[in-house]
Structure 1
Amino acid sequence: MAGLQIVAFVSGLVGLGATIGATVSNEWRATSRSSSVITATWVLQGLWNNCAGNAIGALHCRPHHTIFGVDDYIQACRGLMIAAVCFGFFGCVFALVGMKCTKIGGSDQSKAKIACFAGVCFVLGGLCSISACSLYAHRITSEFFNPFIIDQKYELGAALFIGWAGGVLCILGGSVLCFSIAESFSKSHNQVNGVYKGAASHSHITSITRAQAANPRPSAANSNASRAQYFDKNAYV
C-alpha cells in the first residue's frame, strides 16, 4: 500500500506542476492561420497576457490593461485555476504527512484520515483545472464556428491541453490515494472487533471461574460418607 500511495503522490505532484504551467502560460488560444491576414505574424492570448510574435522569433507580451476590463469567462478561469493550484498544493502537503512511508502524522488511523483529505484536495484541484480549460475551450470553439463573427478567430492553445492533462493526473492521484486507505480502515476495524471479542471471552472465563470458586464441588470424603449412610439405612431391608 505504501508503493501505491507513492504513485498517487507523484501523479498528483505532476498534475500540480502541469496546472501551474497552464495557469502562467500565454498560449491559451492562438490565432488561426486559416483566417489570419498576415501569415508571418500570430497572436497568443493567456489568462494574464496578450502576446504577438512573428516568423523571425520575436515575441512581445503585455498584460491585460485592467482587471475590470477582462471578459467574465477569463475572470472565471482565473479563479478556477488559482483554486486548482491551491488545492493541489494542500494535497501535496497533506499527502506527505498521511503516507505510510513517512514518519509524521501520528497513528495509522490518523495518517489514513490525513491521506484521505489529501486525496479529496487533489480531486477538487483536478476538477477546477478541467472546468477552467473546458470553459475557455467552449468559448473559443463557439466563436470559431459562429458565422456572424468576422473578426480574427482563434484556435485552442497548448495550455488548454496541459491543463486538461494536469487535471486528469490530479484526479487519478487523489482517487488512488483515497482508495489506498480503505485497507487501513478495514484492518483497524478488525483489530477493534478482535479486542472486543477477546475481552468478552476473558470476562466469560472469569465469570465461570468465580462461579466455581463460590460453589466448589463436594470432596471425595463427603461423597463416601453419604454413600455409607445410604447403605446403612438399607442394610436390613
Structure 2
Amino acid sequence: MASTGLEVVSFTVAILGWILELVACVLPTWRVTAYLGKSIIVAQSTWEGLWMQCVWQATGYVQCKVHDSMLALSGQLQAARAMTVLSAVIGILAMFVTAVGLRCTTCADVGRRGKAHIVQAGGVMLLMASVLVLIPVSWTAHHVVRDFHDPGVQTKQDLGGALFVGWAAALLLALGGALLVCCSCPPPSAPQGRPPYTMQPLTSCSQGTAPYRAPPLAGTNGKSGQPVREFV
C-alpha cells in the first residue's frame, strides 16, 4: 500500500513538472533587457523567447512578434527549440506509459511484476525528458551570463523568468522519474525449472520384506551351513 501511494505521488510530481516544462517553452522571457543605469524610469523592455520576441512599454502595452523564419535563427535557438519540443513529447508518452503500469489502474493485465517494469520504463522516460529540458535552459543561461560580463557586448541581457521555470520543471521531472524507478521494484520471481533431485533414504529390513537368503547347499545344515554328520 505504501508503494502504491508513493507511485501516485511520484506520478503527480512528474505531471506538474511536465506542465511547467510547457510553460517554460511557451513563455517569451528567456532573455530580458538588463538595466544598469541609475534611472528607475524605464521606457520599454525587450523580451526574447524560443518562439517570439516581445516589447513591453512603460504604459503597460505589450507587442509581440513571432520569429519570421526558422532558418534565419541561430543554431543555439534552433537546438533549444528541438530539445524542448522533444522533451514535451517524451514527457507525455511517459505519462501514458506510467499510467498503464500503476498498481491502482487496470489498463493492462500483465501481473504485478509486469506492471513494475512498465512503471520503471515510464520513470526512465521522465528522466530523459528532464535532461532534454535542462540542457537548453542551462545553455541559454550560460550565454546570457557570458555576454553580460563581456565588455564588447553593448546591449546587456538578464536571465528571464522562463529559465527559472525550466529549472523547476527539470527538477520535478527528475524527481518524479527517479521515485518511479526506485519505488516500483518488481517482486522476486519464483524459481523456474525442475525441482532438484533428492535422495530417498533406504528402508531397513525390519520395515520391508525379509532379506534374501541363499538356499542351503546339499549335505549341509540350513542354519549353520556346516556339513551334516551321519551316525550309523
TM-score range, shorter chain: 0.7 to 0.9
1:128 match: 132
Q: How many residues align?
A: 217
User: How far apart are the structure 2 equivalents of 1:51 and 1:174?
Assistant: 35
CA 169–4 in structure 1, closer or farther in 2 if over 3 Å, else same: same
Q: CA deviation at 1:36?
A: 10
Aligned partner of 2:11 in structure 1 is: 9
TM normalised by structure 1 equals 0.81
Is 1:76 the counterpart of 2:79 in the alignment?
Answer: yes
Q: What residue in structure 1 maps to residue 30 of structure 2?
A: 28
Determine if the alignment matches structure 1 residue 138 to structure 2 residue 142: yes
Gap runs ≥5 in structure 1: 224-228
Name the SS of the counterpart of 2:42 in structure 1. coil
The one-letter code sitting in structure 2 at the alignment partner of 1:109 is: R
Q: 1:93 to 1:57 in 2, by over 3 A?
A: same
Pick one of 196, 206, 218 that aligns with 2:209.
Answer: 218
Q: Greater share of helix residues, 1 or 2? A: 1
| 1:108 aligned residue | 112
The separation in 2 between residues aligned to 1:90 and 1:230, in whole angstroms, is 90
CA drift of 1:219 comes to 5.2
Paired residues of 1:144 and 1:155 also in contact (CA < 8 A):
yes
SS of the counterpart of 2:47? strand
Determine helix, strand or coil for the equivalent of 1:53: strand
1:118 matched to 2:93: no
Q: What letter matches 2:118 in structure 1?
A: I
Distance 1:156 1:110, change over 3 A: same
Distance 2:144 2:131 in 1: 20
1:159 to 153, 157, 162: 162
- Residue of structure 2 in register with 1:172 after alignment: 175
Change (3 A) 1:36 1:159: farther
Paired-residue identity, %? 25
Cα deviation for residue 35 of structure 1 reads 5.5
Counterpart of 1:94 in structure 2 is 97
Detail structure 1 runs of 4+ shifted over 2 Å in the superposition. 35-38, 229-233
Q: Write the deviation string for residues 39-73 of structure 1: whole angstroms up to 9, x where unpaired.
A: 12111110000000112211000011211111111
Are residues 36 and 149 of structure 1, via their aligned partners in 2, closer, same or farther at CA, if it must alter by over 3 Å? Answer: farther
What's 1:43 paired with?
A: 46
Deviations 1:56-93 (A, max 9, x none): 21100001121111111111110110111011111111
- Residue 5 of structure 1 aligns with an amino acid whose one-letter code is E
1:35 and 1:153 in contact (8 A); partners too = no
1:125-159 CA distance string (max 9 Å, x none): 00011101011111111111100111x21100000
Q: 1:188 to 1:78 in 2, by over 3 A?
A: same
1:60 aligns with 2:63: yes
**Residues 35/24 of structure 1: CA separation in 2 closer, same or farther (3 Å cut):** farther
Amino acid at match of 1:180: C
> Following TM superposition, by how much is the alpha carbon of 1:33 offset from its aligned partner in structure 2, in angstroms?
2.0
In the aligned structure 2, how far is the partner of 1:165 from the partner of 1:68? 30
Show the counterpart of 1:204: 198
Query: Which secondary structure state, in structure 2, belongs to the residue aligned with residue 76 of structure 1?
Result: helix
**Which letter does structure 2 place at the counterpart of 1:169?**
L
- CA RMSD for the aligned pairs? 2.9
- Aligned equivalents of 1:34, 1:72: Cα separation in 2: 29
User: How does the TM-score come out when normalised to structure 2?
Assistant: 0.82
Please give the residue correspondences for 1:179-194 in structure 2 after superposition, counting only pairs within 5 Å: 179-182=182-185, 184=186, 187-189=187-189, 191-192=190-191
